[in-house]
Amino acid sequence: MFDTFILFVILSLVVLIILSAFFSSSETSLMAINQIKLNNAEKKGDKNAKRTNNLRKKINEVLGVILIGNNLVNISASALLTFFIIKQFGDEYVWIGTLILTLFIIIFAEIAPKNFAARNPEAVAYPASKPLQFFTKYLGWISKILTSIGNYITRSENEENYFSKSLNREELKSVLDSETEQVDEDEMEALKSLLELKDLTVEDILIPISEVIALKESDDKLPINIEKNIFYPVFNDEEKEILGFIHSKEVEQFQNLKTDINDFLIDPYYVPESTSLFAQLKQFQKQGNEVGMVVDEYGTFTGLVTLEDLIEQIIGRLNQEEEELGILVNEDFSITADGSTSIRELNKFMSWNIPEDRAKTLSGFVIDHLDQFPKGNICLTIEGYNIETTKIIDNLITEAIISKQTN
């Protein structure tokens, strides 16, 4: 009889510690599991993933049930061991039993199972979802009552579960700035660029009017420096009204066929330069356009914006060499750059802070400071940056050397 009682106590304690480990690991796995992976698994028809997702949708109630269950089994284990020690050895040894049980619970019912669940959340959450669903069904009402009492005492409102709270853009940027092995560097940059779309406007990426090659309605020859895969605005012969856009490949066709240029024109599409890139992307998608004519608040034509440039802003210029950017780093850490290089690219490439609020290109930046077109190569200092022009063609700066002043 004595041996049977000891065996009963030992088995009961083992079962209670296992139950405590179950509740502890279940809590950690539900909090640690990846929501995206969970959603994908549910879409593929995984029933365990669906159950787990349903539990996460009412996580406050489930956590309350887990807390109740964990406390019940731990208190039961403590009471059983205390009763056994008093019955067998007397109450002077209760503290020894309590110490041993506490160590067992901390190691085998808390630390070990939680560490395992944190490393393998799916392996724990999926099989645990069925019993947790059962416990929540019958103990959920107790959890709700206790949560309401706790909220009343702390003057807290009944908040939605932890996972319903969205991160704002700054928080998402902070998450993306942290290192991760699941997303490579290029993908990370593309995601961060996507978050910046609402902060940037069309004015930030437009092709300045000084760099736009325009055609006249009566033109029947290709421009000498025509580029492939680019749009050209077409004006009437008085150059007062834009008739539309024509793609470079269409220019070749229209010239070969010797037909009217109007047959190849895309209707003009006007874009305010203050439009956010996010809004403009949606407009391009909605209207099926690939190019827009950018105008300022007075309706003045200031440049062009293309869908290609906008997408490039999102995905970045992946695997692009310095020469492709038109930037070359010199031995003295100055740079040689094309005049058409955007100020934004310079700042990003060199981690500089050249003002971007007025001119968008290096050439425009210098001309804006001079208030006139340079007649020859010059050296000057603007906003803490030394600039030496090295090539000027048709009043446009085509190459310059820039360095940052040192204190």
**pLDDT tens digits, 199-211:** 788 888 888 877 7
Question: In the prediction, which pLDDT does 117 show?
Answer: 92
Rounded to 5 degrees, φ, ψ at 291 are -150, 145
**Does residue 37 surpass a pLDDT of 90?**
no
| 92 and 80 both lie in a single domain | yes
Q: Are 12 and 80 in contact (CB under 8 A)?
A: yes
Q: Which residues contact 200 (CB under 8 A, 6 or more apart)?
A: 276, 277, 313
Selected residue with higher pLDDT from 154 and 256 = 154
Q: Which residues pair with 49 in a beta bridge?
A: none
Residues 226 and 304 in one domain: yes
User: For residue 157, which of 166, 148, 168 has the smallest C-alpha distance?
Assistant: 148
Please report, to the nearest 10 degrees, the dihedral formed by the alpha carbons of residues 76, 81, 86, 89 taken in order. Answer: 170
Q: pLDDT at residue 193 above 80?
A: no
Do 207 and 156 have their domain in common?
no
> Rounded mean pLDDT of the chain?
80
Q: How far apart are alpha carbons 367 and 307 in whole angstroms?
A: 28
Where among 295, 315, 335 does a domain terminate?
315
Burial 214-253, CB ≥16 within 10 A → b, else e: ebebebeeeeeeeeeebbbbbbeeeeeebbbbbbbebbee
Q: Are residues 223 and 281 in the same domain?
A: yes
**Tokens 């959603």 identify what position?**
39
68 & 123 share domain = yes
Q: Which structure tokens are listed for 407?
A: 């204190």
Mean pLDDT within 37-41: 87
Same domain, 302 and 285: yes
Kindly report the pTM of this predicted structure.
0.50
Q: CB burial class (10 A; 0-12, 13-18, 19+) of residue 56?
A: buried
Stretch 376-405: mean pLDDT, rounded? 85
Q: Are residues 217 and 297 in the same domain?
A: yes
Of 53-67, 146-160, 183-197, 344-358, highest mean pLDDT: 53-67
Both 25 and 121 in one domain: the answer is yes
172-177 contact pairs (CB < 8 A, 24+):
none
Together in a domain, 160 and 171? no
Closest to 316 measured CA to CA, from 407, 191, 402: 191
Calpha distance 48→376 (Å, rounded): 74
Of 315, 330, 356, the position where a domain reaches its end is 315
pLDDT tier at 279, thresholds 50, 70, 90: confident
User: Is the predicted pLDDT of residue 360 greater than 60, yes or no?
Assistant: yes
- Residue 248 and residue 227 in contact, taking contact as beta carbons nearer than 8 Å: yes
**pLDDT value for 222:** 55
Structural domain count of the chain: 4
Complete edge-to-edge strand list for the sheet that includes strand 396-404: 327-329, 335-338, 396-404, 385-393, 379-382
Of the chain, the percentage scoring pLDDT greater than 90 comes to 18
Which residue has better confidence, 147 or 320?
Answer: 147
Predicted pLDDT of residue 224: 47
Residues 48 and 118 in one domain: yes
Position 318 pLDDT exceeds 60: no
181: pLDDT strictly greater than 60: no
Average pLDDT over residues 340-346: 79
Does residue 184 sit in the same domain as residue 45?
Answer: no
Over 60: is that where the pLDDT of 323 sits? no
Distance (Å, whole) CA 135 – CA 61: 11
Give the HSE-up count for residue 233: Cα atoms under 13 Å, Cβ half-sphere.
Answer: 28
CATH (domain of 276): 3.10.580.10
Here the tokens at position 1 are: 């009889």
- The domain boundary, picked from 300, 315, 330, lies at 315
Asked if 210 and 303 sit in the same domain, the reply is: yes
Does the pLDDT of residue 124 top 80, yes or no?
Answer: yes
Domain that holds residue 399: 322-404
Residue 308 pLDDT more than 50? yes
pLDDT 10s digits, 227-277: 555 777 887 766 667 788 877 777 666 666 666 677 777 888 888 988 888
